[in-house]
Amino acid sequence: MIEDELVQFDKSINEFWNKFINTASDTSCQMVGLRDAYKDSMKAFAEKLSVKLKEEDRMIEMFLEYQNQICRQNKHIQEKKDNLLKLIAEVRCKKQEIEVLAANIQDLKEEYAKKKEIISTANKAIEERLKRLQKSEDLYKYRLGLEIRKIYGDKLQFIFTNIDPKHPESPFVFSLHLNEARDYEVLDSSPHLEGLAELQENLRKTNNFSAFLANVRKAFTAMVYN
């Protein structure tokens, strides 16, 4: 009975051992599978992590490059802004110069217009005087033996004849014009008259040109008889 029990016990132990061995073997296989799966998973994770890190490195490089580009652009924009401000200042300065120049031009235009008006008025007065002289030319020519010629420089030349009885065709000449003050001015005479300056001054005071011509003719006549 004891042997039977020992045999039975030994059988039980063998069955237990076999079951344990089988169980341990299965567990070992499962652990190996888990280990390999873990290794594979870690390897895949490491690869993904490496790719991710490389992508992040590229992103950082791109960010730094963009940042540098932005800095360069900002610097370029600031330079453009400074140049623009400088140009605006120059334009304002030029505008002020143009305004001053325009004001000066306007003043010159006004001054020119005034002078032009004065000159026009003076020219009209001269023209009127010349017209009066020319209208009297025939009268002077026939009554006083006088010829009036217009010569260079807006001057008038007066030529008397019939003064010297021995030589009636001999000319007695003087020239006259209006000076800047618009006064009569006798330039010369041939032959020379000593009292011509006094006759000129009297003409300026009286503005009686007919009397002046008559007095000049009298002076030439007196010269001949003297």
Give the tens place of pLDDT for each residue, 8-62: 777 878 888 788 777 766 666 667 677 777 777 778 878 887 888 888 888 888 8
The CATH fold assigned to 136-225 is Copper Amine Oxidase; Chain A, domain 1 (3.30.457)
Both tokens assigned to 113: 């217009």
**Distance of alpha carbon 188 from alpha carbon 159, whole angstroms:** 12
> CB neighbours of 216 closer than 8 A, spacing ≥ 6?
158, 160, 174, 193, 196, 199
Cβ–Cβ under 8 Å, residues 148 and 140: yes
Does 132 have pLDDT greater than 80?
no
Question: In this structure, are residues 106 and 166 in contact, taking their beta carbons and an 8 Å threshold?
Answer: no
Question: Do residues 156 and 149 make contact, with C-beta atoms less than 8 angstroms apart?
Answer: yes
Q: Spell out where the chain has E strands.
A: 146-151, 155-160, 172-178, 184-190
Structure confidence at residue 141 (pLDDT): 65
Whether pLDDT at 216 is above 90: yes
Q: What pTM, to 2 d.p., does this model score?
A: 0.41
169 φ, ψ (degrees, to nearest 5): -85, -5
> Pick from 119, 221, 127: which is nearest to 168 by CA?
221
